[in-house]
Structure 1
Amino acid sequence: MKRIEESYDLVVAGGGLAGVCAAIAAARGGLKTCLVHERPVLGGVASSEMRVTVHGAAQHHSYARESGIISEILSEERARNHEPINENGWTNSAFDMVLYDFCTREKNLSLHLNTPVTQVLMHDGEQVEQEPHTRHGYYHRPACNKSRRIAGLIAHTLSAELELCLRANYFLDATGDAYVADRAGCEWRMGCESKAEFNETHAPLEPSTDTMGNSIHIRAKNIGAPAPYSAPEWAVKHEDASFFYEQGRRPSDPNGGYWWIEIGVPWHTIHDNEEIRHQLTRHALGVWDWMKNRDPVMKRICANYALDFVGQVPGKRESRRVLGRHWITENELAERRAFPDEVGHGGWFLDLHTTGGLLADSSEPAAAEGYRVDSEYAALSYIGPYGFPLRSLMAKDVDNLFLAGRCISTSRAALGTVRVMGTTSIMGQAVGTAAAIMKKRGLDFASLEKDAAQGGAHIQSIQQTLLRNGVFLPNFKNNDAEDLATQATVSASSSAKFHGQSADDPQATAGPLYHPHADPCGPSLEKMHAQHCYLSGALDSIRLQLTAAKDSKLSIRLVRTAGIWDYRQGGSEVIASTTLLIPAGAKQWCEWHCKLTHLIAGSYRIETLAGAETLRWHKVASIQPGHYGQETISPTRLRDLRYGFALQLSPAQCCYQPEQILSGVCRPQSATNCWRSDSVAGLPAWIQLDWDNAQTIKTVEISFAGHLLAEVHTEPPFWRDPQTVKDYTIQFESKDGWHTALQVNDNYQRQRKHLLPQAITTRRLRILVTATNGDPVACVYEIRCYS
């Protein structure tokens, strides 16, 4: 066995999306970084070995998609990949190669694949005793009451008979199972806390060892001819249709996928992982056998489908959770608590699968009730968007160990929402950024923890760096003193107004509907529906495009909201209300002469009150930034939809003015926070920064529209979001006129950073947009300039 010693600033153990984003962020921040991963490909559960597609906050909240490094990765993958995305089982090697490319091109990043960590070296040479395997109550390693530091990790490259000793100042445990934290002696928990401990809605009355299970996926392929299938004798034989159709395991897609091929209890998700893999394989082949040979519905649909992939690396949802400098509870996230050390956001629903998976009486609760959006369970599980604190990503017992992924410092109930890969990717970028700033400032964990708890200068620097690098923080905005753009005034060639949107408008703004619906007429107004919009100044009238089965009455109201994710029915204030008489007829415009003056500029919602079951409100095929539909989910709350409703406003509202790009926020919230050019004026269009005095500028950074409204699952192969700017020029003015500093073609990324070929000195800088990826207008969320 050959032995090599290497020294780094940061060693990241675990190459899932959390570890990948952490390593890239640290390397970009100037740290000499090592990423060590036990598998041959990066991505963890998202890799081609497990094939789970990335979920996050935008599944449930409009404009809540994760940005930053994970946005770069997913936008690149969609632009390159021919493969359509579906729920599970679809990730291919093209995604693996995008991750490999992103890591390989970072000059400060060293990558070791096929290399599991086997030992943790402590500074004092201490050997940490391994935890007992207990089966009563939830179980944990008890606190040690003394501080520790990791000196290095021992790892073995399996295919090369190579032993690596990886030493560093900082370490990140992104292994999922908290392997490094456990071997370093960290206190951790596994299983369920009782309701009495934190008074969490989703906690059981009694503590237990129960965990969510592991899964493998299957995938089938249509070969265009009959494809017989015989399951091996050791496969599970399914004969009962109710197991699938009445217990939340509906095999509706012949291509496969199926997250519900899941098993945990009675096995231990770490120690019994190989037995779980075997059991999952037995069940997976049995599921396919049922679909091909027994299910009266699916066997006809699957006739020409052949089994093409059976995963053999189980994807885990839950194991150890390490105690950090802050312990996140469900209540904090449900309240959307503003942490002083907020470093990212989440918003997946509070998704705790039924213990036992396939061995349980029913599947995950939402699936078992048919994914109803108006059930009590759905209302209790709809959560966020919320921020999470840096202290939950810092181990309590080891003074140089960060955490990212499903092993972070969180209760089991809160784990149900923070565990998805969109959220864990942001955790990784936060840790990589924090480590880089710690080194630059000579900080230790104790000083950073104290500063973070108080919202001090160090955490503010981390937050501002994250914002500059594309991460969204719900409770913080750009106040970077070095950003020269904040001192400028802004003008543009033209600015769009929001007139409304019609069911007859062309699909120009958002491309195809994110979730096409079989019923183009729109939903019945038997229950409350609403349209979110931004208003300012005066509003004389609101017109809705409706179809009435008979003469009907419709009660509507205009409410002011606290922002884009204010889901309270009635918002923060009811501004006006009325009842309209709607004659029978199809696709008619019905007008409310509301005659409102002096509206405070901001976020509003037009709500239709429940009870008009004979009316339908037409959908629209395009979405303008910040304007979309909602529907009721409980007697008091609404939820977001992936489409808007047809309405017209008079006069048109000014919500896309040039100065919006200096709001410090790069997505719709209490304002649209973006400039859009006027569609009548067409392209090219420009937006311009003006300073009173000449500025020397070397770096220009731009955040465009696109890649925010919905999850990556909505995007087809070779997708380039229509709202992203494709071709643009950075121009500056001197005494002899306008000049080109840089020209960019064929862009499809949301955020672009440009180090200019040479510094320019100017009082005026302009972004000239000549083409987008489909939208007839230009749209920009932010411009930053640095010397």
Structure 2
Amino acid sequence: MKTKNEKYEVVVVGGGMAGFCAAVSSARMGRKTCLIQNRPVFGGNCSSEIGVTIHGAAAFHAYARETGIISELLIEERSQNHAEIYENGWINSVWDMVMYDMAVKEEDLTFYLNTDMRDVKMSSDNKIEAVVAYIQSAETELIIEGDIFADCTGDGIVADRAGCEWRWGSESKSEFNEIHAPEVGSKEDVMGNSIHFRCKDMGRPVPFKAPDWAVKHDNPEYFYNQGRIPKDKRGGFWWLEIGVPYNTIYDNEDIRHELTRHTLGVWDWMKNCDPKMKEETKNYAIDWIGQVPGKRENRRIMGEYFMTENDIQEKTVFRDEIGFGGWFVDLHTPGGLLARHAEASAATDGEEYNTFDEYMVKSYCGPYGFPLRSLIARDVDNLMMAGRNISCSHAALGTLRVMGTTAVMGEAIGVAASTAIKHGVNIKEVPQKYIYEVQQNLLRNGCFLPNVKNTDKKDLALKAKIIASSEDYLLGAGPESKGFHEGLAIWKDQPQYHVETLETIKGQIVGIGSDRLDSVSVCLTNTSDIEQEVEAYIRPIDSIWDYRVDANEVIASAILKVPVGEKVWIDWEVNLTKENGLPLNQYVRIDLGANNNLEWHEAGCVIPGHTAMYQIGKNKMRRYYNGNTLSFKVSPAQNCFKATNIITGESRPHSYTNVWISNRNNPLDQWLQLIWDTPQDVSLVELTFPGHLLREYHAYAPLYRDPQCPKDLEIQGFINGGWVKIAEINDNYQRQRKVKLDKSYSLSQLRIVIKTTNGDASAMIYEVRVY
């Protein structure tokens, strides 16, 4: 057997989304990085081998797509891939190759695929000295030394071999008083492993005969009333899951076999037994069955901070915040296919998710931040982790485990590891001594932190005066309004609350950009035969994700009278100014109370940053539909898309719109200009554009390029009394672009000229940085 000895600054074990983003992040920070992956492709659960599509915070929250490396990858995949995203099983090799391409292009990244991590070597000072790995089919042993190691294996293999303490199963209610915790904790409370399958329409009837060893399913209640609904004849069922009584690590092969037996049995039931599915699937044949189980939960490594569900529900603000999540607290029933119900919500609502169900109300959470300390191992001095093995409770893992969130974790530990090496300190010192640097680097790399803004002292844009060729003003939108949303749909797998009736309170967010608001109007239908009344309120809110029913003090209220009729505009004189509570450069929310005789109509377009929400619990609201805008008008028009938004420090609509939009009635070219009192040495311009934020990855069509994203643009400098092109970008569809100029220019004025977009009539930019 051949042996190779190598030395790196950062060594990442595990090439799923967490590990991949950690390794790329570290390499981009200039650290010599090695990534070890035991499969032939990157991606872990989302690879073509397993096929779980990536979920994240935007499944439940408008404008909550994870950004940074994960965004770059997903935007690239959609631009290249001909395939529709449906749900599990619908990942093809285009995604594998997008990841592979990124890895190959990173100069400071070395990777080993098909390589098993076998053991660790410890030093006398409580650090990992090296990992021992074996390249499959190459008879080669690798001894890889490193300064900092990252366990992104999911199973926590590195930490386990290094002697770290870890947890398994659920914590009891008495330990942390989490609302999802059982009264008695149990090692049995571990979510299971899954395989997936997909089917193909053959255009003619296709028979299917299950092998004798397949499980025989013949009870429709097992599917329709116990949370195992075959929503699509093509496959893609998350509930093909088995854990208890098997150990999800040691019994993985037994689980794979049992899952295969059940998968064939489920398809047999669909093809040959159930009257409804039998008809729907008659022309379908099995095309693929995965044979690598995807895992949800295993070891959770004890870190410098142990995150609980209380942190998530209360949105704890951490000084060392380095990422965010927003998937719901999604805890599957131990046993999966072997249990009575597939997940806890199915026990009370077997057929569909009910948005008002008590279990679903308490499970809806976020977006919330999480700390770097939960990604630093407590028991070893140079070990970090990202993924489902981080330091958190079982209940907290229900939301933290999804791949959009774990990718953000990975990018964060790559930056943190680089920072520790740069300053020559133990990784455990970074959360206290260098967290500002880590956070500012993450923001600069395109990531988002709910409680941190760009205050980078080196960013020359923050010192500039900002003007633009034009600015769009907010007037509102009605049912007949049109937008540029071709190719943007919804995540079809989850039932959508899409009811215009005022069953409960509904609220529409409005950005205030002027010093007064004289009136607002809403478009309602009165379905009864008499005049109706509805309570109306306006209150400032802290962010687009401020879901408190009683968010802040009401600044205007009224009882609106609604005559009988369809799509009637109801005017409300509010006469708000700064003196009576109107905030500037902040959101307010127009709330209408419950009245089942009234409908508040959706607008025909989505106004950037202007989404709606509805009440689901006593003091809890949630996103309405998929981030849609309800019909409203404001007077006077609000200047909430102004040029100065590009230096608010936030690069998405969060506490405010934070975007410059040119007047859509003015033709392109449109420009944004930075002016300094004295000349500045400029060699790098970094741009963040709109697009790919509103909804989850699943909502975007094949070969998609977001219409809001600028396509062709120039960077111009004011030189010798005139504007000179110093750089250009062509055929762009990515959210973030960093443009290194051919030399350093001494400039007192700089322009970004948007020449074309990918479809929208306006030029739009979230952030400009200049260095």
TM-score after normalising by structure 2? 0.96
Partner of 1:523: 500
The change in CA–CA distance for 1:518 and 1:119 in structure 2 (over 3 A counts) is: closer
Deviation at 1:541, TM superposition (A): 1.6
Work out whether residues 510 and 624 of structure 1, in 8 Å CA contact, stay in contact via their aligned partners in 2. Answer: no
Work out whether residues 378 and 633 of structure 1, in 8 Å CA contact, stay in contact via their aligned partners in 2. Answer: no
Tell me, yes or no, if structure 1 residue 581 matches structure 2 residue 561: yes
Partner of 2:593: 609
Aligned runs of 1:180-259 on 2, under 5 Å? 180-209=158-187, 210-259=189-238
Aligned runs of 1:271-670 on 2, under 5 Å? 271-368=250-347, 369=349, 370-448=352-430, 452-453=431-432, 456=433, 458-508=434-484, 512-514=488-490, 523-535=500-512, 536-550=514-528, 551=530, 552-598=532-578, 599-601=582-584, 602-610=586-594, 612-641=595-624, 642=626, 643-670=628-655
Larger deviation: 107-116 or 529-538? 529-538
Deviation at 1:276, TM superposition (A): 0.6
The change in CA–CA distance for 1:544 and 1:667 in structure 2 (over 3 A counts) is: same
Tell me, yes or no, if structure 1 residue 762 matches structure 2 residue 747: yes
CA displacement 1:534-591 (0-9 Å, x = unmatched): 1242122211112222232222211211221111113211111212222222222121
3-state SS, counterpart of residue 594 of structure 1: strand
CA displacement 1:27-86 (0-9 Å, x = unmatched): 011111111100001000000011011111111111111100000000000000011011
Partner of 2:18: 18
Letter in 2 for 1:434: A
Partner of 1:690: 675
Tell me, yes or no, if structure 1 residue 260 matches structure 2 residue 239: yes
Work out whether residues 120 and 158 of structure 2, in 8 Å CA contact, stay in contact via their aligned partners in 1. Answer: yes
Partner Cα distance (1:468, 1:55) in 2: 24
3-state SS, counterpart of residue 426 of structure 1: helix
* Aligned residue-pair number: 757
3-state SS, counterpart of residue 65 of structure 2: coil
Partner Cα distance (2:410, 2:233) in 1: 35
Name stretches of at least 5 consecutive residues in structure 1 with no aligned partner. 125-146
CA displacement 1:504-548 (0-9 Å, x = unmatched): 112326764546999999511122211111124212221111222
Work out whether residues 487 and 700 of structure 2, in 8 Å CA contact, stay in contact via their aligned partners in 1. Answer: no
Partner residue of 1:170 out of 148, 151, 158 = 148
Name stretches of at least 5 consecutive residues in structure 2 with no aligned partner. none
Partner Cα distance (1:473, 1:65) in 2: 12
Aligned runs of 1:742-761 on 2, under 5 Å? 742-761=727-746
Larger deviation: 557-566 or 492-501? 557-566
The change in CA–CA distance for 1:511 and 1:542 in structure 2 (over 3 A counts) is: farther
Partner Cα distance (1:161, 1:45) in 2: 27
Partner Cα distance (1:333, 1:618) in 2: 33
Aligned runs of 1:85-124 on 2, under 5 Å? 85-124=85-124
Deviation at 1:347, TM superposition (A): 0.9
Aligned runs of 1:127-146 on 2, under 5 Å? none
The change in CA–CA distance for 1:573 and 1:587 in structure 2 (over 3 A counts) is: same
Larger deviation: 552-561 or 702-711? 552-561
Work out whether residues 122 and 148 of structure 1, in 8 Å CA contact, stay in contact via their aligned partners in 2. Answer: yes
Work out whether residues 510 and 723 of structure 1, in 8 Å CA contact, stay in contact via their aligned partners in 2. Answer: no
Work out whether residues 511 and 722 of structure 1, in 8 Å CA contact, stay in contact via their aligned partners in 2. Answer: no
Letter in 1 for 2:506: H
Partner Cα distance (2:440, 2:117) in 1: 33
Larger deviation: 578-587 or 415-424? 578-587
Larger deviation: 105-114 or 524-533? 524-533
Partner Cα distance (1:436, 1:526) in 2: 51
Deviation at 1:768, TM superposition (A): 0.3
Tell me, yes or no, if structure 1 residue 49 matches structure 2 residue 53: no
Letter in 1 for 2:534: L
Partner of 1:60: 60
Letter in 2 for 1:397: D
Letter in 2 for 1:508: F
Larger deviation: 595-604 or 110-119? 595-604
Letter in 2 for 1:438: A
The change in CA–CA distance for 1:162 and 1:10 in structure 2 (over 3 A counts) is: same
Partner Cα distance (1:622, 1:43) in 2: 35
Letter in 2 for 1:596: L
CA displacement 1:610-657 (0-9 Å, x = unmatched): 1x2122111123212210121111122110121111111111111111
Work out whether residues 3 and 163 of structure 1, in 8 Å CA contact, stay in contact via their aligned partners in 2. Answer: yes
Letter in 2 for 1:213: G
Letter in 2 for 1:44: G
Partner Cα distance (1:37, 1:7) in 2: 17
Deviation at 1:97, TM superposition (A): 0.3
Taking every aligned residue pair, what percent have the same amino acid on both sides? 50
Partner of 1:131: none
Partner Cα distance (2:300, 2:488) in 1: 41
Letter in 1 for 2:190: T
Deviation at 1:314, TM superposition (A): 0.6
3-state SS, counterpart of residue 35 of structure 1: strand
